[in-house]
Amino acid sequence: MTVSTDRHGHTAGWAETGSTTPVVPDPAAAAFFDVDNTMMQGASIYWFARGLAARNYFTTGDLARFGWQQLRFRVLATEHAGDMSQAKKAALAFVEGWRVDDVERLAEEIFDELMAPRIWAGTRRLAQRHLDAGERVWLVSAAPVEIGRVIAARLGLTGAIGTVAEVVDGAYTGRLVGDLMHGPAKADAVAQLAVVEGLELSRCSAYSDSANDLPMLSTVGRAVAINPDGALLRQARQRGWEVRDFRTGRRAARIAVPSTAAAGLLAGAVSAGLALHRRRRAS
């Protein structure tokens, strides 16, 4: 099923065209945006960890373990999409024992400092077009839902779908509630939200950079590949999906490293840990 271009703003109905035609909200339409490398350059959880390191919340050993856990998650998620049990164990272990309100407060601070400058202006405009057309916009991310909600609130979006961590007495246990928000789980969550919110998926749009999100992209009426990896680009061309790429040349390769190359993420975590160690020795 294909959503007509005028319903989703590819013609004079979108704000930058200068149209003064009143917008009639479509309560059955919505847009779903992946976060890492789609809405933001790099991985939100990476920048969150960097922000924590700058505040001395992590020791060198903590950062090394965090990098290793994220490395394991990405390798398992990519190579063993059908068996995510080990990835689930690694995904949120680093927040075990943390207070939820502390994580939310820190996420707000770190978004303003490190994430906001890395929001893709082009993707942000696409989201705003949906809002201007009277549609709701949700982020859908494997990151903890608390981080997704902060990003959504800062961008003026409707809300966020994310990985839910178990909380006992206001603190994280390090375990998950349900599935990691990855691959088919994203499609399932979008479908469930559609039922609750009265959406028609054939009128909805989804945006992602990764072939891992093919289930979500295939669930809606209009799929758009943003800064796509090779596998998603091939699928988009085969299926006739729109492709938007806001990256340019070597700069694109550099900024993609934190989220698309697990080794790069590990190196970044270790480097940040070493820098923290040097600062402590110097003090």
Residues belonging to the active site: 34, 36
For residue 178 the two structure tokens come to 């349900």
Q: Which residues contact 197 (CB under 8 A, 6 or more apart)?
A: 30, 136
Beta-bridged to residue 206, according to DSSP, are 32, 223
The Cα 204–Cα 220 span in angstroms is: 5
Which 3 state secondary structure label does DSSP give 251?
Answer: helix
State how beta strands 165-168 and 171-176 pair. Answer: antiparallel
Q: How far is CA 164 from the centre of its chain?
A: 14
Q: What are phi and psi of 41, to 5 degrees?
A: -75, 120
Q: Is 122 left (phi over 0), alpha (psi -120 to 50) or beta?
A: alpha
For residue 136 the two structure tokens come to 């709701």
